[in-house]
Amino acid sequence: MSERLQPGDLAPAFTLPDADGTEVSLSDHKGRKVIVYFYPAALTPGCTKQACDFTDNLELLAGAGYDVIGISPDKPEKLAKFREKESLKITLLADPDKTVTEAYAAYGEKKNYGKTYMGVIRSTIIVDEEGKVERALYNVRATGHVAKVIKDLGI
Q: What is the pLDDT of residues 39-77, one digit of tens each?
A: 999 999 999 999 999 999 999 999 999 999 999 999 999
Please name which of 121, 37, 47 lies closest in space to residue 82, comparing C-alpha atoms.
47
Prediction pTM value = 0.95
Report the alpha-carbon distance of residue 4 to residue 90 in Å, rounded: 25
Q: What is the pLDDT of residue 69?
A: 98
State mean pLDDT over 23-27. 97
Within 10 angstroms of residue 59's Cβ, the number of other Cβ atoms is: 10
| Share of residues in the chain with pLDDT > 90 (%) | 93
State mean pLDDT over 95-120. 93
- The catalytic residue positions are 47
Mean residue pLDDT of the chain comes to: 95
Q: What is the pLDDT of residue 2?
A: 65
- Asked if 126 and 34 count as a contact pair (C-beta separation under 8 A), the reply is yes
